[in-house]
Amino acid sequence: MNIGLNRCFIVVTICIHYFCCLVKSQPFDYPIANLSTKWINSPSAPHSVDFSDGSTVRAILLRGTFGPRYACGFFCNGNCDTYLFAIYIVDTNSASGITLVGFPQVVWSANRDNPVKLNATLELTSDGDLILRDVDATIAWSTNTGNKSVVGLNLTDMGNLVLFDKNNATVWQSFDHPTDSLVPGQKLVLGQELTASVSVSNWSQGGLFSLSVTDQGLVAFIESNPPQPYYENTVSGTKTSEEPSYVRFQNGSLAFYIISSEPSQPDRVIFLPNASSLQYMRLDNDGRLRVYEWMPSEWKEVVDLFKDYFRECDFPLVCGNYGLCSGGHCTCPANTSWETTTYFEQINNRQPALGCSEKTPLSCEASQYHSFLELNDTTYFNFRSDLQNIDPEQCKQACLQNCSCKAALFRYGWNSSVGECYLPSEIFSLKHIDKLRNHYNSTTYVKVQKVSSVSPRRKKTNRIKTILGFSLGSLAGLCFLIGIVVFFFWKKNNDDEVEEDYLDQVPGLPTRFSYEDLKVITESFNKKLGEGGFGSVFEGTLTDGTKIAVKRLDGLGQIKKSFLAEVETIGSIHHVNLVRLIGFCAEKSHRLLVYEYMPNGSLDRWIFHSSHGFVLHWQQRKKIILDIAKGLTYLHEDCRQKIIHLDIKPQNILLDENFNAKVSDFGLSKLIDRDQSQVVTTMRGTPGYLAPEWLSSVITEKVDTYSFGVVILEILCGRKNIDRSQPEEDMHLLRLFKKKAEEEHLEDLIDKYNEDMQIINREEVVNMMKVAAWCLQSDFARRPSMSMVIKVLEGVSEIEHNLDYDFCNLPLAKVSHQEVNVSFSLLPSVLSGPR
């Protein structure tokens, strides 16, 4: 937290220029600048100083000649790719400037959201504008004070950067634009706020916490929509009509002043330790407001202002998002101990305080499956009364009706059956309350996404058929099939009164639909779900309400024989990680396939960051990878006939309402006998996912392993393998992967949008990248089988060592594309082609 604070001895490097300047007897204190002055952020700037904590300061103005003092100028910390124009406190210990102690403490910055690079410039123009330009001349920040009669820039002894006019009046001052800190004497005025940085290394104000003076008093908020207050130091009851107009940080106190009483005594104060030296106050990125003080030679925290305010379970992130705090311990919400379905799991089992993640994220599209976990005697760090005089049932209903509501927090009124209801849109830590010591009876209803069942509701008649189908032998089954066929013919001459029976399935075999039926079911092919090389996919609803996906294959009517053969094969394949073929239609020139409906669509919608801001978390991604591996293992190793998919890519991985992944469209797959280990075929599939041996015409199931490797990488990196929006050198993910592997910086590739992967699970993610590398071996014999992949994912086996990161290298690249097409024994599947 207080990384900037110094606890060790300091090694200091001072630029040679620094000495030169000193020798040239530049005044050591240079607090004022005139118009038409320009400074460059360059290591050769006159006052460039590197500190051993990794920070560099290049002072432009400096006030005071000894001890800790204010300076402004360029500042960087850490890797120093980017710089701030900032005000900081430095101590060079003596006027000679030889010994530097303490690390620089930034108390204000101009461009925290927009840091600049080396060779950026700051210019006080001839017309009085102060402009920060990046090295490419773009304006990163400016005071917009051109034409306002500015005559100079002054860094005051309070640490305020002031543009003044010829009467010494202030035209612009940094005190009016606070960032995350206050210095002694500085006010935080009504409407102004301090916003915490994202992290110690990222100064951006996108942090979660802010502190502002409102008409209620001093209030700290945690970011959400709308922000939720977690600390309130409200104005005393007698003065409610009057607003605090500002708070001032001063020696010994944080004082509330009311405009009407100015400049008299403060209305109220929060006492702070008396300053023995220079102090500053900062809203830290963990949401705490702390005062730091210069103790000769180092900075120390002297007080955490919120410390006494929070009991052990009161801080909004004490147990992370959705974490339930009880006596300081963190758990995840669960209905009751005997309830078998769990909706939340710990983000990290070893660190419960990191919070919980939803096993199935709430989806507004599937709001009919929203339900509540009931947590008695549970409340929240803040309670806003959104609805009054209602009962818990009405409170829950109100939450169900608003998709942004994530929980219904209810508390009973005093001795009453009704109460108040709060419907927050984001859930931070919940807390368990001791009923005896609490004034309220509070219940929290956490909204969860219920697991729904996709399988169609079976009719009574059908159940009988099912029993028959299973219990009679194969001969009887055959007779039964014949019966069904006869039934179809009969159906053709009858009308809709038997439709429901007609739609029922024979277990294990796909149902045959008539074209008319499918037209009705899909409302004349009205809702298109997607489009692929061979046709379009439409949404439909069976009479019992089951949703289905209907794929209409265009212009393939003539290949009738293979169509039926393929349908039969595909229809007989059942596995939880394979999209199930429910039925088909082959009538005149119409060829359609009916699949189970997958509410969350294809994987590409979720991993390549597009419009919706939703990001799959690590556990979900891991599960998806395992699901795909299981689906493929089934196709490769467990089917009666080995099936090679040949077109594994995110578009062909579909997700159900619980984000279980299922492989779809084994349409491209070529059926081969188990003992025939290789098959020659035409080059198919999708560029970017093709294994190198496609060029050599030796095709085994390992081409799927390769494509699977590409998909893993895409899932981990959150980008497409070939991404033309990237700069040329980064366009090919595999090439980048190789480069990063050589540099041993695989973590650079991790999806930038996913913090749990970037930080908490980084090691696991990098390990998964190695699984991908194994699957991507250019020599297909070195790739693992899919069942081996599962063993590795489940932790019972190890990844092979000595991986070759030259993924696109072709060991036997002698055969050209054209030659490949000449020999193959089977017709290309009519079901081929991407969806």
Ligand X SMILES: *[C@@H]1O[C@H](CO)[C@@H](O)[C@H](O)[C@H]1NC(C)=O
- Which amino acid, residue 172? W
Smallest distance, Å, CB 715 to ligand X? 21
b/e burial code for range 218-235 (CB count within 10 A of at least 16 → b)? bbbbbebeebbbbbebeb
CB of 403 or CB of 520, closer to ligand X: 403
- Phi/psi at 552 (5° precision): -100, 115
Smallest distance, Å, CB 559 to ligand X? 49
Q: Is 670 annotated as a binding residue?
A: no
Smallest distance, Å, CB 32 to ligand X? 6
Strand partners, 15: none
Residue among 9, 3, 75, 81 at smallest CA distance from 39: 75
Specify the DSSP class assigned to residue 801.
S
Smallest distance, Å, CB 741 to ligand X? 23
328 CB-contact burial (10 Å; exposed 0-12 / middle 13-18 / buried 19+): exposed
Instruction: Tell me if the bond preceding 263 is cis, omega within 30° of 0.
Output: yes
Rounded Cα distance, 508 and 570, in Å: 10
Rounded Cα distance, 86 and 60, in Å: 10
Residue among 465, 726, 764 at smallest CA distance from 617: 764
Rounded Cα distance, 22 and 6, in Å: 26
Smallest distance, Å, CB 170 to ligand X? 8
Q: Could you give the 3-state DSSP secondary structure of residue 542?
A: coil
CB of 21 or CB of 484, closer to ligand X: 21
Its sign, for the CA torsion 819, 822, 824, 830, is positive
Rounded Cα distance, 826 and 584, in Å: 22
**Where along the sequence are the contacts to ligand X (CB under 6 A)?**
32-34, 118-119, 135, 146-147, 152, 154, 156-157, 164, 167-168, 198, 202, 204, 206, 251-252, 273-275, 335-336, 341, 371-374, 376, 402, 404-405, 412, 414-415, 423, 425, 441, 448
Smallest distance, Å, CB 143 to ligand X? 12
Strand partners, 374: 445
Smallest distance, Å, CB 200 to ligand X? 11
Specify the DSSP class assigned to residue 459.
P
Q: How many CA atoms lie within 13 A of 152 on its CB side?
A: 13
CB of 252 or CB of 483, closer to ligand X: 252
139 CB-contact burial (10 Å; exposed 0-12 / middle 13-18 / buried 19+): exposed
Cross-sheet strand order for the sheet of 37-40? 37-40, 121-124, 130-133, 139-142
- Which amino acid, residue 409? L
What single string gives the DSSP state of each residue in 543-554? TTS-EEEEEEEP
Q: Could you give the 3-state DSSP secondary structure of residue 100?
A: coil
Kindly state the tokens that stand for 748: 């650079």
- Cα→Cα distances 442→311, 378, 392, 830, Å: 18, 6, 10, 61
**H or E element, residue 219:** strand 217-222
- The residue with its CB nearest to ligand X is 206
CB 142 within 8 A of CB 109: no
Residue among 119, 124, 123 at smallest CA distance from 134: 119
CB of 762 or CB of 770, closer to ligand X: 762
Q: Could you give the 3-state DSSP secondary structure of residue 94?
A: coil
Q: Would you call 647 a catalytic residue per the annotation?
A: yes
**Measured distance between the N- and C-terminal CA atoms of the chain, rounded to whole angstroms:** 50
Q: Left, alpha or beta for 601 (phi > 0: left; psi -120 to 50: alpha)?
A: left
What single string gives the DSSP state of each residue in 376-411? ETEEES----SEEEE-HHHHHHHHHT-TT--EEEEE
Rounded Cα distance, 428 and 407, in Å: 11
Tell how far CA 121 is from the center of its chain. Answer: 35
Smallest distance, Å, CB 445 to ligand X? 9
Residues 6+ apart with CB under 8 A from 155: 31, 32, 61, 62, 63, 70, 71, 72, 87, 161, 162
b/e burial code for range 637-660 (CB count within 10 A of at least 16 → b)? eebeebbbbbbbbbbbbbbbbbbb
Rounded Cα distance, 63 and 107, in Å: 15
Torsion of CA 364, 625, 733, 646, to 10 degrees: -110
Kindly state the tokens that stand for 2: 């207080």
Q: Could you give the 3-state DSSP secondary structure of residue 38?
A: strand
Catalytic residue among 91, 504, 517, 647: 647
Q: Which residues are annotated as a binding site?
A: 551
Q: Which residues are annotated as a binding site for ATP?
A: 551
Give me the active site residues, please. 647
